[in-house]
Amino acid sequence: MQTVVVGTSGTTAEDVIAVAREGARIELSAEAVAALAAARGIVDALAAKPEPVYGVSTGFGALASRHISPELRAQLQRNIVRSHAAGMGPRVEREVVRALMFLRLKTVASGYTGVRPEVAQTMVDVLNAGITPVVHEYGSLGCSGDLAPLSHCALTLMGEGDAEGPDGQVRPAGELLAEHGIMPVELREKEGLALLNGTDGMLGMLVMALADLQRLYTTADITAALSLEALLGTDKVLAPELHAIRPHPGQGVSAANMSAVLKDSGLTGHFQEEEAPRVQDAYSVRCAPQVAGAGRDTLAHARLVADRELASAVDNPIVLPDGRVESNGNFHGAPVAYVLDFLAIVAADLGSIAERRTDRLLDKNRSHGLPPFLADDAGVDSGLMIAQYTQAALVSEMKRLAVPASADSIPSSAMQEDHVSMGWSAARKLRTTVGNLSRILAVELYAATRAIELRRGLTPAPASQAAIAALRAAGVEGPGPDRFLAPDLEAADAFVRDGKLVAAVEPVTGPLA
């Protein structure tokens, strides 16, 4: 099993995914343990002084003006966790909670939070034991970070609340800790606050969405190429010299991917041989690289933001090496929230253009010789008519989800926290959007492969043949009379979601970007 070592300088997207999705084990580096101890020494020294220090010997948020006496400080730290663990709604997915906890550990290990080494080690032990706190859908405004979700995680460290064990059963957290020999933590000055105050949930969801969308953008280039081929379109619009004169990087990558898939196709270039010759293909076909490419460039910007955030220590107040404990606003989720919203917009547009290509494949007036709805016996059979309805419903939802969450702000904490990012909400809707995009591309793949097979007498590109063969081997049937369609579409979605389409064509095309 892979082991991820957490140091003081942040982490990587690959490590987040390894922990969240693959169950990688975690270790604290010696450097991190030393940094934790040094920062804790500063906090302990400040806690012993009579002067109030925010987060160490005061209340929080709008209650920061109260100086807390030493005998009440442990109770204060417990109380902030208990009171902030106020989430409601459905449970958040296990991979999201693991990413959330791991990223909070990343900041704690930086040595800027003042948390004791034993608290960080307990976080490691809980993750390694496969214990996953129960976190709820609603409760974060994205400022001061993901407070409620992180509080539910901190509650588990205290041995309180509910958590899911490695067997998938939800039980009292205290029981699960005891079974794995993990002692609940007794929080001291600043520690409760340090466990709650970060952008970790929205960042974890961003990192995973970027990985999923990278695969789906490559998939979309393949399905667009298959649709172009099925529509007897021209691949001349993919020539690299055309894309070089509008040098958006993503556009050139998408065009190159499509060209690689279409190499040696016997279906392309017939657009001027029909009874009604076409001068140009429709926008949804001809402009596929421009739309997908702009999305790819947005992914690149979002990845830059994520990498910066992965290298950050996000807490308030921050313990500086020179002994200062300073309040700051680094917990504000705006940088992450914006790119989460950007990604929802470009994913919705990618889904929209894929749906338009599918509709064109099914319309006998625009499909250039294909049967209506790709049906076996049109009229007796409905073919893929309702598959496109499902695709359209998914696109419609994606358009609604593309409305930016980060454009909203609801003041909280008696107007102390009077501008919030709503980044958690942006991340949650992006997860839905990513799932919808996979389904939309699966429907396009299903329609385009069937259409290619109906072009009897013409030989598809070798990469297309490989894609069709792999899809059929995965249990997705080809042309024929109407049948129960939902299982085929679900299998096609799994084929797309698991990266099997990309894996099927790359032995022919070489690596696709």
Query: Catalytic residue positions?
Result: 54
321 CB burial (10 A radius; 0-12, 13-18, 19+): exposed
CA dist 472 → 141, 160, 475, 501 (Å): 45, 50, 5, 11
In total, the chain counts a number of residues equal to 513
SS3 129: coil
Nearest residue to 405 (alpha-carbon basis) of 481, 307, 336: 336
Structure tokens that stand for 56 in this block: 């160490």
Question: For the residues of 6-59, what is the DSSP string, one character each?
Answer: E-SS---HHHHHHHHHH--EEEE-HHHHHHHHHHHHHHHHHHTSSS--TTTSB-
Residue 377 and residue 360: Cα distance in Å, rounded?
19
Q: Which helix (H) or strand (E) holds 137?
A: strand 136-138
At 416, which amino acid appears? Q
Residue 172 sits at φ, ψ, to 5 deg, of: -60, 135
